[in-house]
Every structure is written in C-alpha cells, then in structure tokens.
Structure 1
Amino acid sequence: MSNSVDLFTIGFTQKSAQKFFDTLIKVGVKHVIDTRLNNVSQLAGFTKKSDLEYFLQKIGNIKYSHIIELAPTKDILDEYKKNKGDWAIYEQKFLHLMGERKIENKLKPEILDGGCLLCSEAKPHNCHRRLVAEYLNLKWGNVKICHL
C-alpha cells in the first residue's frame, strides 16, 4: 500500500463526554469505528450505540459504524474478563480470530484513514483496539497508529 493510513484509537472509560468528543474533534477524526461486542449496554453511558451515533454527527460531523468483526467473541472476552484470564492468552486467541476472519480483506484502508477504533478500555495496552490496529498495520503496512 503506497498511501499511509492515519488510524486513531480511543477508549471511553474514565473520560467525560466533553473530553471524549473534544479529543476526537481536535485531531480531526472523520469516522468512529465501534469495535465493541456489546455497544448497547447501560454501562456505556454516552457511548451507547444510538446515542453515540447521534452525538458524533451533531457535535463533530463524524461518521459512525459498528464493525462486529473487529470485536472478540463472547468466549474469548469472558475467559479474560470474568475468569481473570491471562492477557497473553487473550492476545493470542484474538490475533488468531482476526486471522481467521481475514479482517484485512474485509476492510478497505480508505475507510479507516482518519478513522478511530473505539472500545471501552481507558488505556490501549490491554485492549483489543490496539491489537486490531497493529494487526492491520502488519497486513497492510503503512498504518500510522495514534492512541488518544
């Protein structure tokens, strides 16, 4: 791939709505790609699917998509979250899942350029959005990743 893709990632936990939206607007995000398995939970607060889509459009003229193929399966997630699983095992299983799903063929780099992968984790270190971004960079090359 010759052109580089500017890809952001963000988690909404520990952020106020003001900080969340201001951050997206400040860096010029054009499209938020929701990578959560469950985006309708009451715990999601202002990032509940229908609310988030509305707020992004109204506040920042930002497009919203939910791409479930970028989320872990319930089994992988539950093993890690509920059973206090090992991050290395989660990472290995999730990377294998993305390989099986061949997400690099299902997504177009143009769609992700100026896009921002969204999930709930406050920090990217132990979060699948970082794994998605790094996986795509590995497959496509030239993906510039910025964690917000």
Structure 2
Amino acid sequence: MISKTPLCYTIGYGNRTLEEFISLLQINKITHLIDIRRYPNSWMEHFDKELLQRILPKNRISYMHCTGVGGMRESAYYEYMETEEFNHSFSRLVDLIMEVNGTDGYPVLMCAEKSPKNCHRRYLAQNLERSGIKIIHLTEPGQTDFSSFS
C-alpha cells in the first residue's frame, strides 16, 4: 500500500475580507484551520478567535487554536524554537496535522501576516518539512508557493 505524503497549507489573513479569506480556504478544499497566533485577536474583528469559531463551521471548516507555536515572543522566534515549551507544542501541531491528513482532510496554519516571508510560520513550515510534511503557502487566489524561504 502506498501512503501519501502528509500535506499542510499555510495562510495569512493580512488585509483580506472574511469573505475573501473563506473563499480562498474553500477553493483549496481546506477542512481544518489551525490558528497559530499566540494571541488570537485581531484589529480586524472578523479574525478574532470567537468569531472564527462560529463562522468557519458554518462553512464546513473546523477551527483549532495551537497557541504554543505562536509568535510575538520576548526573544527571537528561532530562539523560542529551542525551548521545551515549543517542542511540546510543535509535537502537538504535527499530531494535529497527521490526524487531519488521516481523515483525508486538508489543514491550514493561519496567522496574521499575508506573506509567509514576514511571518513566524515560515520557521514552522521549515520544521514541518523536516518532519516529512509537505507545505503549500496560500498567498493569493490561484497562487501558491511551495518554498519555505530558507
């Protein structure tokens, strides 16, 4: 039996409307959104955790929050990645991604920054790729990026 390579998308909401954001998720058949913000609130209220928890399931997308891999740390993110807290949270994230893939679902990691080049999710993507998970960055409708920007 041939097993498929686990897959995970990433996305940043940037300055998108909620409708644009959900459309981009649906076009890419996303089934599970994993919020990787340390603080799941936004100056754009429609991207606050509480609203996403209500709206996404109405669009057949599950919402999960994985705070331990979030950015906005006292030290540089790559330094935080050396901590036990990060390693524990990262293992939990990998388990979530594998679980979603095991049900033929499609997970996406969400943060605020539209471009993964300017976001901590680029570091997560590099680690996930080292763990054998293929990463696809959703940037604009019809546009994806397979690079982790190493």
TM-score range (shorter-chain normalised) is: 0.7 to 0.9
Compute the displacement of 1:71 (Å). Answer: 0.8
Residue in 1 that maps onto 2:87: 101
Asked which structure has the greater RCO (Cα within 8 Å, sep 6+), the reply is 1
Compute the displacement of 1:104 (Å). Answer: 4.6
Q: Does 1:35 align with 2:25?
A: no
Identity %: 26
- Give ranges in structure 2 of 5+ residues lacking alignment: 139-150
The one-letter code sitting in structure 1 at the alignment partner of 2:87 is R
Compute the displacement of 1:100 (Å). Answer: 5.0
The one-letter code sitting in structure 2 at the alignment partner of 1:53 is Q
Q: Does the Cα contact within 8 Å between 1:11 and 1:124 map onto a contact in 2?
A: yes
Q: Does the Cα contact within 8 Å between 1:5 and 1:112 map onto a contact in 2?
A: no
Residue in 1 that maps onto 2:64: 65
Q: Does 1:130 align with 2:122?
A: yes
TM-score w.r.t. length of structure 1: 0.76
Q: 1:97 to 1:10 in 2, by over 3 A?
A: farther
Judging by fraction of residues, say which structure has more helix: 1
Task: State how far apart, in whole Å, the 2-side matches of 1:112 and 1:70 are.
Answer: 18
Task: State how far apart, in whole Å, the 2-side matches of 1:53 and 1:100 are.
Answer: 24
Compute the displacement of 1:30 (Å). Answer: 0.8
Q: 1:51 to 1:37 in 2, by over 3 A?
A: same
Residue in 1 that maps onto 2:148: none
Task: State how far apart, in whole Å, the 2-side matches of 1:104 and 1:52 are.
Answer: 22
Compute the displacement of 1:98 (Å). Answer: 7.4
Q: Does the Cα contact within 8 Å between 1:37 and 1:71 map onto a contact in 2?
A: yes
What pairs with 1:1-148 in structure 2 (closer than 5 Å)? 3-41=4-42, 43-58=43-58, 60-72=59-71, 74-76=73-75, 90-97=76-83, 100-106=86-92, 107-108=94-95, 109-113=97-101, 114-138=106-130, 140-141=131-132, 143-148=133-138
- Give ranges in structure 1 of 5+ residues lacking alignment: 77-89
What secondary structure, in the 3-state scheme, does the structure 2 residue paired with 1:7 have? strand
Aligned pairs, how many?
130
Q: 1:61 to 1:13 in 2, by over 3 A?
A: same
